[in-house]
Structure 1
Amino acid sequence: MNKVKVLLAEDEASLGMIVKESLESRDFVVFHAENGEKAYEVYQTEKPDILVLDVMMPLKDGFTLAKEIRLENKHIPIIFLTAKSQTSDVLEGFNNGGNDYLKKPFSMEELIVRIKSLLNRIELKPNIENIKIGNYTFNFTKQTLIHSSEIVQLTHREAELLFYLVEKKNEVLDRTFILNKLWGNDDFFNARSMDVFISKLRKKLRNDDTIQIMNVRGFGYKLLC
């Protein structure tokens, strides 16, 4: 079995070394870069399976790096490491292509669980194209919604959330399940973040009034179409 290759972009040398050695002791292959520009070079040459990116880095920050990589690869998992904890900062990370985030300080056990969860999630979803949602066509692979001739681009997190809503179409998508699946836990902070993404999906589906994402209080959400 091939070892999982991790690109770790972390400008704090001591933390980078600790994370690298800890992951390698658990059979990962780790490429460590201490700034965003070097990390992009390593991404190009080593073709890692997953990215762990510090947000605040010299030369190129983690959000900018993720945005550039997403132009080439829409599916590689990205975890942000950040000392920031405001909802707006976390949403910015998701909007720039992040799949998950860890607030510093973090435990290695938690990082490893997040890495394995994201890699497992990729294996569960094949390339999915041309799913009908009312008058829209949803392309999960390209992360787009097409309505008439209009193409609406989705963020990575929006596409993931819509994918699970479509899977449970006309049924309740359990709130706790989807928070744990996409956000890693179901705390209040993540629940608020998910509510924002639900609102964004409603706006992007607003051109078909037969579609509704209904809030089932105390249980979750239901996509009706």
Structure 2
Amino acid sequence: MAQTYRIFMVEDDRNFGTVMKAYLEINGFLVDWIKDGLQAYKRFTENDYDICILDVMLPNTDGFSIAREIKENSPETPIIFLTAKVMKEDVIEGYSTGADDYITKPFDSEILICKLNAILNRHMRDQEVETKEEYKINEASFNPVLRVVQYKNDEYKLSPKEANLLLLLCQSENKVLPRETALKQVWGETGYFTTRSMDVYITKLRKYLRDVPGVEIINIHGSGYQLRTTNPV
């Protein structure tokens, strides 16, 4: 089954945003459309996204600031600017934020889809180069490239953050994974809200592994978490 990608789109023009969202969804993408630039980064942290499409001209803020915030805390997330700002200095600033492309309006919608797919495919290949291993968690298996946990006839598709967190736990199996290490590597920052978010993700991972004999994820008070595996009797 083909991969379904989730797009984080920031666009304050309601007419253009409505058309863009519908067009992207017709082409098989899932789209979360954010109209308020000031709330953009907060909304970004509430989900896992495969790519961002950002307008530049937004009320009370701008797309460059949003891009920098995203890249600072989630550097692996691809970004495309889709904007009416065509000046050379704007294009340069857009790329300086770490964006993968800068597309000016008006544009060819079919070319946009081609660029989205090219960036996403390249991004997925880069991830596969970094990690190709499969981890055994007693009788379960975890494929960090496909982001899949499998146990007997059950198969769970993990979000990017869930997979990254489980990968860190597997790499430190039966050892303590420091909370700060996980927060910085998966979320890019430490803080109250990211800590609470990680607790939610740990609960999800426990649910995926709850039926696997001899496997548990333990909260080490004041330190972090431990993926503990023991030989089931």
Q: TM-score range by the shorter chain?
A: 0.5 to 0.7
Contact 2:147 2:157 in 1 (8 A): yes
Question: Secondary structure of 1:36's match?
Answer: helix
**Structure 1 unaligned residues grouped into runs of 5+:** 1-6, 14-32, 45-52, 58-79
Q: CA deviation at 1:128?
A: 2.6
Q: CA deviation at 1:43?
A: 10
Question: Secondary structure of 2:136's match?
Answer: strand
What does residue 72 of structure 2 align with?
113
**Structure 2 unaligned residues grouped into runs of 5+:** 1-6, 53-59, 79-122
The correspondence of residues 176-215 of structure 1 with structure 2, limited to 5 A, is 176-215=180-219
What does residue 20 of structure 2 align with?
35
What does residue 12 of structure 2 align with?
12
Q: CA deviation at 1:105?
A: 5.4
State the Cα RMSD in Å: 4.1
What does residue 64 of structure 1 align with?
none
- Choose 1 or 2 for highest CA Rg: 2
Give the direction of change, closer, same or farther, for the CA distance of 1:131–1:193 in structure 2 (3 Å limit): same
Match for 1:116: what amino acid? P
Q: Deviations over 1:156-178 (max 9, x none)?
A: 22111101110111111111111
Contact 1:179 1:190 in 2 (8 A): yes
Q: CA deviation at 1:36?
A: 2.3
Question: Secondary structure of 1:138's match?
Answer: strand
The correspondence of residues 120-159 of structure 1 with structure 2, limited to 5 A, is 126-159=130-163
* Equivalent-residue separation in structure 2 for 1:216 and 1:99 (angstroms): 34
TM-score (norm 1): 0.57
Q: CA deviation at 1:205?
A: 0.2
Give the direction of change, closer, same or farther, for the CA distance of 1:192–1:40 in structure 2 (3 Å limit): same
Q: CA deviation at 1:124?
A: 6.9
TM-score (norm 2): 0.55
Q: CA deviation at 1:116?
A: 3.5
Match for 2:21: what amino acid? G
Contact 1:140 1:163 in 2 (8 A): yes
Q: Deviations over 1:41-81 (max 9, x none)?
A: 9999xxxxxxxx86326xxxxxxxxxxxxxxxxxxxxxx98
How many residues end up aligned between the 2 structures?
165
Question: Secondary structure of 1:212's match?
Answer: strand
